């Protein structure tokens, strides 16, 4: 029998994945805004492309339930690093994004600790769970 917790883990995993998939789509549709954010911080704008790839692959892995523990741990680290781009104490909007990144990192850490849950693509847990 399906438990509410099993469904909650699946929905939570997919909601977190949507954030990263949307980030990948944004980078495809408008790479310039992410490139500007990178160059404003003294980083090469070409870093947008590996970030896009990571966002897309990690998001798909979360949806599918594949290698959720290591992927979620990497996403938590990614959120921590990218939060620094938004640490602008004089800008309330950027500070809200900074805090949201840490909240998303928290959700990723829960997935890293507990794995994908019962529902994964293919009906069984792939790789490291």
pLDDT band at 26 (very low <50, low <70, confident <90, very high): very high
Is 102 within 8 Å of 83 (Cβ atoms)? yes
For residue range 100-127, list pLDDT tens digits in order: 999 999 999 999 999 999 999 876 554 4
What is the mean pLDDT of the segment spanning 83-96? 93
- Asked if residue 25 has pLDDT above 60, the reply is yes
- Residue 51 near residue 61 (C-beta atoms within 8 A): no
Asked if pLDDT for residue 68 goes beyond 60, the answer is: yes
Considering the chain, what is the average pLDDT of its residues? 92
Q: Within a 10 A sphere around the Cβ of 87, how many other Cβ atoms?
A: 13
- The three-point CA angle 100-129-64 to 5° equals 70
Q: What local confidence, expressed as pLDDT, does residue 81 receive?
A: 94
Q: Is 79 a residue whose pLDDT tops 70? A: yes
pTM summary value: 0.89
Question: Is the separation of the CB atoms in 59 and 20 below 8 Å?
Answer: yes
């Amino acid at each position: 029998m399906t438990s509410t917790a099993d469904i909650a883990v699946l929905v939570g995993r997919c909601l977190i994945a949507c954030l990263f998939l949307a980030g990948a789509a944004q980078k495809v549709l408008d790479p310039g805004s992410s490139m500007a954010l990178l160059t404003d911080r003294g980083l090469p704008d070409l870093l947008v492309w590996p970030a896009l790839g990571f966002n897309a692959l990690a998001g798909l892995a979360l949806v599918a339930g594949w290698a959720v523990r290591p992927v979620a741990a990497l996403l938590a680290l990614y959120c921590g690093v990218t939060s620094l781009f938004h640490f602008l104490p004089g800008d309330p909007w950027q500070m809200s994004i900074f805090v949201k990144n840490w909240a998303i990192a928290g959700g990723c850490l829960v997935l890293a600790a507990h794995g994908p849950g019962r529902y994964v693509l293919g009906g069984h847990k792939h790789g490291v769970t």
